[in-house]
Amino acid sequence: MNHLARRTRWSALAVSGALFAALAAGAAAPASAAPSATPAPATASPPAATATDAPLPGLDPATLRAAIGGLPDADVTGALLRITGSAGHWAGTSGVGDLQTGQGVSSDGHIRIGSISKVFTATVVLQLVAEHRIDLDTPVQRYLPGVLPAGLPPVTVGQLLNHTSGLPRGAQTPDFGDGSPEWFAANRMKSFTPQQVIDLMAGQPMQFAPGTAQQYNGMNYYVAGLLVEKVTGHTFAHEVRSRITRPLGLHDTYVPDADDPRLPGPHSHGYLTVKSPDGTSHPVDVTEQSPWPWAEGGMISTPADLDRFVTGLFRGRFLPPAQQAELFEVPDVPSFHSSQCRTEADAGRACMTMGLMRVESSNGVVVWGKTGSRPGYTSGVFATRDLSRKIVYSLNPTNLDGTEIRYVQRIAAASFGPVVPAGN
């Protein structure tokens, strides 16, 4: 839901675009960054010359350490980076996971994955399509009468999944906060139902005619989650568990209950810097928070589980060929005022599929994946189509304004190699 994403980073709009900007602009990690990461041994074997669209660079441990080095600082308390695949392995952490004890960042701690949850949601919906229980070209209003506000035009299931629905932004309301760290820190246990979120669209204008453009909008995935529940008769959490996490052995990945604010250990704590009435600032621990973003952005996982999930997904473990193709099919429409698609390569065109994002560097390396954010947590999982390089990263930002983007840029450049800035 875009207005909340802009103001409070409920989802990953700004950070998603940062990976594009990093690859397009060649944002390399500065050599002076403090090498405070604790890495696993790197391997620098030649990358497989397969479906990456361009040769992958070898992994440089010094550059990787610098990409996440220098922590903690005023904007980020801790970071982890995990790189796997046939083109090399590396893992490192930086900063602290607990400001009270000074304990370091766990290399495989639990994280709030935010909008990476959408990949799980899209996968479940596409499975139901393969089972002929959902049709991508059928208006979602036919499956969910009365769920969307009256007066909206027909929006197909496929348009929900690839963000071409044009659904309205949600109306701003005090119940959802003012976008400040202070509000979230004080109200982090507040919860909202999917229908309450969807109802924020009432009376708001469509962004564009369905199917004519692409704009990232979390509303699409609240509706998709309700669609899963209506068609199956089970909770969204049940369907994710029975269809994805249990078959793949993802023991640390799940959809939390709406009233469960806990984050299992081990984990890095999430903090927000808030101002006191006297004007001084101090960190507030927001590790425990309501998981109300649900099918749009409320799931919990670990780096190892996300690596395993993207591996299974790309290898066709979950979907037959027709639906698997949808994961890598970008609609040929403009990107509508979106920070998601802004590289020279995409030239203002769509870059999202039914669940994933396509990222192409100016030197031709193509990766697919998703970013996600919740207050205190920013993460991403990306891989080349042939899985020769997979990355999972997680940061712990202390604000809601996206200043951790510079670390995402460093991670992107260090993981996929230096590129030529646009215009050079």
The pLDDT tens digits of the residues spanning 263-280 come to 999 999 999 999 999 989
> Which letter, b or e, does each residue of 295-320 get, where b requires 16 or more Cβ atoms within 10 Å of its Cβ?
bbbbbbbbbbbbbbbbbbbbeeebbe
Q: What's the gap between Cα 231 and its chain centre?
A: 26
Q: Which pLDDT belongs to residue 417?
A: 67
Is residue 36 over pLDDT 50? no
Q: Are 97 and 85 in contact (CB under 8 A)?
A: no
What does the block give as tokens for 56?
Answer: 């992958």
What does the block give as tokens for 50?
Answer: 């397969």
Measuring CA to CA, which residue among 69, 87, 72, 84 is closest to residue 30? 69
How many residues can be counted in the chain? 424
The pLDDT tens digits of the residues spanning 169-194 come to 999 899 999 899 999 999 999 999 99
Q: Which pLDDT belongs to residue 26?
A: 41
Q: Which pLDDT belongs to residue 246?
A: 98
What does the block give as tokens for 4?
Answer: 């909340």
Q: Phi, psi (5° rounding) for residue 106?
A: -70, 135
Beta-strand ranges (E) seen in 219-317 are 271-275, 281-285, 299-301
Count other C-beta atoms under 10 Å from residue 276's C-beta: 9
Q: Which pLDDT belongs to residue 363?
A: 73
- The torsion defined by the Cα of 24, 30, 36 and 39, in degrees rounded to 10, comes to 50
| Contacts of 200 by beta carbon, 8 Å cutoff, 6+ apart | 1, 170, 171, 173, 176
User: Which domains are present in the chain?
Assistant: 2-416 (3.40.710.10)
Count other C-beta atoms under 10 Å from residue 43's C-beta: 14
Q: Which pLDDT belongs to residue 341?
A: 58
Q: Which residue has the tokens 């995402």?
A: 408
Q: How sure is the predictor about 374, in pLDDT bands with cuts at 50, 70 and 90?
A: very high
Count other C-beta atoms under 10 Å from residue 141's C-beta: 17
Count other C-beta atoms under 10 Å from residue 125's C-beta: 29
Is residue 144 over pLDDT 80? yes
What does the block give as tokens for 353?
Answer: 């599929």
Beta-strand ranges (E) seen in 21-157 are 76-84, 90-95, 111-114
Segment 128-142 shows an average pLDDT of: 98
The pLDDT tens digits of the residues spanning 18-32 come to 554 554 444 333 333
Q: What's the gap between Cα 397 and its chain centre?
A: 15
Q: Are 17 and 408 in contact (CB under 8 A)?
A: no
The pLDDT tens digits of the residues spanning 332-350 come to 999 986 555 555 445 689 9
Q: How far apart are CA 111 and CA 304, in angstroms?
A: 11
Q: Are 411 and 92 in contact (CB under 8 A)?
A: no
Q: Which pLDDT belongs to residue 310?
A: 98
Q: Which pLDDT belongs to residue 326?
A: 98
Measuring CA to CA, which residue among 73, 17, 1 is closest to residue 402? 17
Question: Across the beta sheet with 357-360, what order do the strands follow?
Answer: 90-95, 76-84, 390-397, 377-383, 366-374, 357-360
**What CA–CA distances, in Å, run from 61 to 64, 80, 376, 423?**
5, 14, 27, 29
**What CA–CA distances, in Å, run from 37 to 83, 226, 327, 410?**
14, 42, 34, 14
Measuring CA to CA, which residue among 327, 322, 392 is closest to residue 355? 327
